[in-house]
Amino acid sequence: MKTLIILIASVLILATPVTSHGLALDKQKILNDLQTLYPYFKPDEIQRKIQTVTDGEHFLRTFIPYYYFTLKNNPQMTGNLISMAREAGWCVGDAHYSNFGAILNRGGVADFTINDLDDAGPCPLFTDVLKLFVSARLVTPQFNFQQLLKAYILGLSGAPSNLSPEVRQLLLNSQKIGAVPDPKELASPTKLLRDVNGREFTAEEKTAVIAALNHAYANSAIMIDGYASFKTGGGSHGLQIFKVLLKSRPSSRTPFSDTQLVQFKRLVSPGIFPLLVGPMPNVMDRIHTTLMVEQGQTFSGFYGVETVLKTPYLLTPEWMGNLKIDPRTLNPAQLFNVALDEFYVLGRIHSHSASPAYPQMIAQTAVTDWQLAAQTIGAYMIEVFKTVK
């Protein structure tokens, strides 16, 4: 893995503090802030994102940079945790329950890790942990924060952990299903079903997508179908995507097996950018580093960054065997077991870039500080959601 050099600089810009969730919020100011954070969206596109949001936790994971923007401008919300602001490393950027799952590597082996690559980058590590705590507080406020923190510290130490029965079953299911397209995406073996927002490629798009595929996979695959659309949920809602059905060339030595479905998703500034430490890494290095810390050296060669019509896109495999955690299918005890695994994995990811001092600082934090900060920020997100809706 490439050596990760993080500039530990002044991190949280201590702007004039404002009252957190206690005061009435101004809707127009929030909309202006969102427009600043999403300069590539028109105001009506931001409104469409808002319309998809159903609660405070959904707002947190839909408007990813707003969380980091909030901490930058309201550092008092983090309470005593602010003492760790200078401890930077490689953050995943969008740590919440639904962004963990089973990911197949190049050998078809499943690992339990973060399934999101877009929003990662160098930022204060504690803000990553705090975001997962905020998600936990908003979804399941009865969870034992002390045990969750211990799981994170265990992962940070590099010590092995016994995964929960729920996650072990997820991994077994992932490997059993394998690296195949979801039949629900196919109209026939050689034709993709168009989604409700789908449209055919323009001639220019088709030429550019084929060129990008040839570059990514060394001319080892043929595009047999594809279409353009945009994301309709989560933090990527509204971003341009291209879905492509591929088949390996008959005589080539290729990693492809039969037909494969891949997706191009437009890349924009990562969600952590309001608290970015040091210069923004170039997009190729940023995604490569993220793949290394989140999936390890055996990550699949189907992942990559390609340019289509002068715009960078994240290229990912759309495998049916890449299974997400769905909190709605778990009872509270099962969800807590999975949450322990998620905090452990986050610690494992952070262990690749944390300073030698960081683990001890985390171990010395009081669980009440995490509870208070998560409660404060969670309540703020709920009020922001209510204000913009």
pLDDT tens per residue across span 142-173: 899 999 999 999 999 999 999 999 999 999 99
Looking from the CA of 248 toward its CB, the CA atoms found within 13 Å total 10
pLDDT band at 15 (very low <50, low <70, confident <90, very high): very low
Percent residues over pLDDT 90 in the chain = 83
**Residue 235 burial (C-beta neighbours within 10 Å; 0-12, 13-18, 19+):** buried
Looking at residues 131-136, what average pLDDT do you find?
96
Query: Structure tokens of 284?
Result: 């190729």
pLDDT band at 98 (very low <50, low <70, confident <90, very high): confident
Query: Structure tokens of 167?
Result: 């996650």
pLDDT at position 248 is 80
Please check the confidence at residue 3 and state whether its pLDDT lies above 50. Answer: no
Looking at residues 245-267, what average pLDDT do you find?
80
329/307 Cα distance (integer angstroms) = 38
**Residue 175 burial (C-beta neighbours within 10 Å; 0-12, 13-18, 19+):** middle
Looking at residues 349-362, what average pLDDT do you find?
97
Residues 6 or more apart whose Cβ sits within 8 Å of residue 88 = 6, 7, 8, 11, 122, 123, 124, 125, 277, 278
Degrees to nearest 5, angle at CA 289 with 106 and 175: 25
231/242 Cα distance (integer angstroms) = 10
386/55 Cα distance (integer angstroms) = 8
pLDDT tens per residue across span 193-239: 999 999 999 999 999 999 999 999 988 889 999 999 999 888 889 99
For tokens 């005061």, name the residue: 23
What is the H or E stretch that residue 41 is in? none
Query: Structure tokens of 289?
Result: 């580093």
What is the H or E stretch that residue 216 is in? helix 203-216
3-state DSSP call for residue 241? strand
DSSP line for 57-124: HHHHHHSHHHHHHHHHH-GGGGGGGGGGTT-EEEE-S--SGGGEEEEE-TTS-EEEEE---TT-EEEE
Query: With contact defined as beta carbons under 8 Å apart, do 267 and 121 qualify?
Result: no
DSSP 8-state code for residue 274? G
What Rg, from alpha-carbon coordinates, does the chain have?
A: 21
DSSP 8-state code for residue 55? S
* Mean pLDDT, the chain, whole residue set: 91
Q: How many residues in total does the chain contain?
A: 389
DSSP 8-state code for residue 307? E
Rounded to the nearest 5°, which phi and psi values hold at 299?
A: -60, 150
